[in-house]
Structure 1
Amino acid sequence: MKKWITGAIAATLFAGIVTGCSSSKTSAKKEPTTISFVHWRGEDVEVFHTLIQKFEQENPEIKVKMNVYPSDQYQSTVQTVLRDGQARDVFTSFPGAQFETLQKAGLFTDLTKESFTTNFEAHLIENGKKDGKQLALPYQLVFNIPVYNVGIFEKLGLTPPKDWESFLQVNEKLKANGYIPIAFPGADIGPGQFMNSMVMNNAPSDQSLSALQKGETKLTDEWWVKTLGQFKELQPYLQKDALGAKHDSAIALIAQEKAAILATGSYAVAGIQKQNPNIRLGLLAPITVQASQAKYEGVHTSTFMLAINSKSKKKGAAKKFLAFLSKQEIATEYANKTAQHVTVKGVSYESPILKELSTWTNKKTVFQPRFTITNANVEKAVTGSIQEVLGGTAPKQAAEAAQKIVEQNVVK
């Protein structure tokens, strides 16, 4: 009897040891995979934090670490950041020269066969393609035309002008009534943004800027010298020291209702409303020709191009994050909380400003002319000539100096 009891106890103890070992193994949690998300939209950080928390709840095996850079710094350093050995996993790209540079460096992962690409409006993500491959997914649809204070315009009996002379008259009346007509961030994004609507009706074709790179057009051509001359005409209507002003300071001027027009684009709306929730905003584009000669009413871009670093070792987790952001309900939340139109199908816009600006989706707009330039040196020459003119250089002289830089980068 004693032997049976002893054997039973031993068996029970052994079973307990085995169960304990098994329990220890199953209770050991696997560390979640951490992916990095790099972008330039500082004004979207709070919204992205909320969305990332939702993603992590749905995908407890993945953590997302977000890194944000100022947009001007992002443009100049992103390639180095993506190659810095930390293998940034999910990143964003601007269209045009930056997209071209990054694809030449082989830093994009091909997303063509990923099912979540079908969540996007196909015609709005074309600029994320190269050689038939979907390398990036533009997330935002923005209008690269000035934002204006509707209340100030109504107070002064002004309406968005339909030709160049009317645009100058509007600026003159704003100035006469004590307002800064145009807040212009000349130190960072102003020249590259404002030039789009300034050139959209002046250029002989939609490809006049891209043709610079082939030597088929020149900055000394009449259309570009005319554009620089019109920038010169607007100089009295810009804020003091406009060439030294950055976008944040220009946003503050319109949010404080000291300035009536912000010379950037719809992506600035969220930043303005954060500082002044009650401000009423609209969009207007300077029409640089007579009304009857205008080809376009404004400019659009699909940008904030989501991509996966080809050097990432966590592509599976990164793809799950992109799939999450492309969900209709997530894109809707992002759009309404950031006051940004998006490229995802079926999104419903709830905020008053988005509903107001949605009318621009039905207007005749051209894809951002600046982003048709794929050579960064040529782009700098173009925007640099604007800064030179606003700094006091004669339009023809600035055009000639810039054209010399372009000629050094022409590819036949």
Structure 2
Amino acid sequence: MFVLMVSSFLAGCSSSESSSGDGETELSFIHWRGEDSDAFKELISRFEEENPDIKVEMTVYPSEKYQSTAQTLLRDGSTGDVFTAFPGSQFEVIKKAGLFEDLTGEDLVGNFNENLLEAGQDGDKQLALPLQLVYNQPVYNKTVFDELGLEPADDWEGFLELCETLKENGYTPIAFPGADIGPGQMMNPMMMNNAPEGVFGELMDGETELTDEWWVKTLAQFQELMDKGYIGEDALGMKHEGAIAQVAQEEAAMLASGSYAMANIKELNPDLELGLLAPITVPADEAQFEGIHTTTFMLAVNSKSQHKEEAKKFIDFLSQPENAEYYANETGQFLTIPDINYESESLKAAADWMDKNTRFQPRYLIPDADVEKAVIASIQDVLGGESPETAAKNAQEIVNQKTK
């Protein structure tokens, strides 16, 4: 009888982990975008109203922590029935751990633009579904540009000239969050026309090195921006929030991050008119790409989950046009869901980028997290005064260790 009582008690504890005690299934949803929490809370409320037998518990982690710990969180299936993943190295790590439920052939996949799903695929398998379409290139203050008669430049010399004009008129040309996301974001437009597509695959195969011209040139151009005072002296200590504030307060004219920051800037200063641009680092007639795009915030079902059908139902709900439209306009994010009416000013301002020739974010094509960190660190080293050649050499040593 004692054994039966203990067994019954343990069974009760186990079931309480997956249900709320009144027949409801508890679904764990984890992601890294704290700024989207209010929008998700509303959507979760709507979902629970439609599905009274499912309760969704949302947990948000800082993006850097999420990058490094998501795999561990997912392992036992108790956390992250529905989770989000970054493309690139994090996707590869989670894939190798076997933590993605294969969604190939599920009806919900049809909710997404099929041309924007590649980042979540492994061969012919659809393991994750990118929700956001992001442009990873500088945001700029169109109001200031118009006042000074400036237009986005179509070559490197033109970009330097507009930076000089901004500096002469009392603006920091580029607010650069070098303490967190700046180097990893700005590297993409800076290298998009300097390096061929697939270059990081070639790097891992030993067919090219960071000490080759494509990366040393990119680092040298970062150095030029720093030496000429176009990036603030406090760049290495600047976090994204501080850089956003600099643009909102009209101290800086450009922000080295991406379209996802436009809503945050407008929240602080609704009067600003914003746009997107990408520095063209080559002569105009040699430029192949106009900017950078990423399909990210990839929705996935944990293969270890005990509630896979409920998890799929939640992703299906989030990707229905009316719900996706609410999320897009509340958060200022472009999405991979077709037929959405974008109402926010930030999104309308950047809508023309959908028709431009953009390159998928190169950084997310680095398959190894340590190599990615080394590449980003080489930018920080140059901003800190290291020569491009030495910074590239130090980063290549990390690559050599990993590839061997």
Q: TM-score, normalised by structure 2?
A: 0.92
Q: Residue 229 in 1 paired to residue 217 in 2?
A: no
Amino acid across the alignment from 1:286: P
Asked if residue 371 in structure 1 is aligned to residue 364 in structure 2, the reply is: yes
Instruction: Count residues with an aligned counterpart.
Output: 382
The answer for the alignment partner of 2:149 in structure 1 is 157
1:60 aligns with 2:48: no
Q: Deviations over 1:157-193 (max 9, x none)?
A: 1111111111111111111111111111111111111
Q: Identify the residue that residue 291 of structure 2 maps to in structure 1.
A: 298
Give the distance between the partners of 1:249 and 1:76, measured in 2 at CA. Answer: 24
The C-alpha deviation readout for 1:323-345, integer Å capped at 9, x for no partner, is 10110111111111111110012
The answer for the alignment partner of 1:183 in structure 2 is: 175
Paired position in structure 1 for 2:5: none
| Residue identity in the other structure for 1:269 | M
Structure 2 distance, partners of 1:259, 1:63, is 44
Q: Which one has the largest radius of gyration?
A: 1
1:101 counterpart residue number: 93
CA–CA separation in structure 1 for the residues paired with 2:379 and 2:395: 10
Counterpart residue type for residue 49 of structure 2: Q
Q: 1:318 aligns with which of 311, 319, 325?
A: 311
The answer to whether the 8 Å contact 2:113/2:336 transfers is: yes
Deviating 4+ runs (over 6 angstroms): none
Residue 310 of structure 1 aligns to a residue in which SS? coil
Residues of 2 paired with 1:85 and 1:161: CA distance? Answer: 50
Q: Deviations over 1:94-122 (max 9, x none)?
A: 10011001100111111112101011111
Q: Retained in 2: the 8 A contact 1:92–1:306?
A: yes
Q: Aligned partners of 1:110, 1:282: CA distance in 2, in Å?
A: 38
**The one of 243, 249, 253 aligned to 1:256:** 249
Kept after mapping to 2: 8 A contact 1:163/1:286: yes
Give the RMSD, CA atoms, in angstroms.
Answer: 1.3
**Contact 2:211–2:393 (CA<8 Å) still a contact in 1?**
yes
The alignment status of 1:81 with 2:59, answered yes or no, reads: no
Pick the aligned partner of 1:214 from 197, 205, 208: 205
**In the alignment, residue 338 of structure 1 is paired with which amino acid?**
T
Q: Deviations over 1:124-168 (max 9, x none)?
A: 011101131110000000111110011111111111111111111
Pick aligned residue for 1:392 from 376, 382, 385: 385
Secondary structure of the equivalent of 1:144? coil
In structure 2, give the amino acid aligned to 1:108. F
CA drift of 1:73 comes to 1.7
Return the alpha-carbon distance in structure 1 between the equivalents of residues 203 and 84 of structure 2: 27
What's the offset of the Cα at 1:250? 1.1
On the 8 A contact 2:77/2:306 being kept in 1, the answer is: no
1:117 and 2:90 matched: no
- State the shift of 1:225 in Å: 0.6
Q: Distance in 2 between matches of 1:361 and 1:153?
A: 22
Q: Structure 1 residue 272 and structure 2 residue 272: aligned? A: no
More divergent stretch after superposition (116-125 vs 172-181): 172-181
Matching residue of 2:10: none
Amino acid in the other structure paired with 1:377: D
CA distance in 1, matches of 2:175, 2:85: 26
- Structure 1 residues not aligned, in runs of 5+: 1-28
- 1:242 equivalenced with 2:235 (yes/no): yes
Q: Which runs of 5+ in 2 are unaligned?
A: 1-20
Match of 1:72 in 2: 64
Q: Which SS does the other structure have where 2:132 is aligned? A: strand
**Structure 1 residue identity aligned to 2:205:** K
Query: Cα distance, 1:81 vs. partner?
Result: 2.0
Aligned to 1:329: 322
Amino acid at match of 1:233: E
AA paired with 2:224?
E
Cα distance in 2, alignment partners of residues 364 and 164 from structure 1? 18
Please say if residues 35 and 317 of structure 1, whose CA atoms lie closer than 8 Å, have aligned partners that are also in contact: yes
- In the alignment, the residues of structure 1 paired with residue 318 and residue 310 of structure 2 have an alpha-carbon distance, to the nearest angstrom, of 13
Q: Which of 321, 326, 341 is 1:348 aligned to?
A: 341
- Which amino acid is the alignment partner of residue 203 of structure 2? L
Q: Which amino acid letter does the alignment assign opposite residue 223 of structure 2?
A: K
Alignment counterpart, residue 402 of structure 2, candidates 379, 388, 409: 409
1:371-397, Cα deviation, whole Å (9 max, x unpaired): 111111111111111011111100001
Instruction: Give, in whole Å, the separation in 2 of the partners of 1:211 and 1:308.
Output: 31
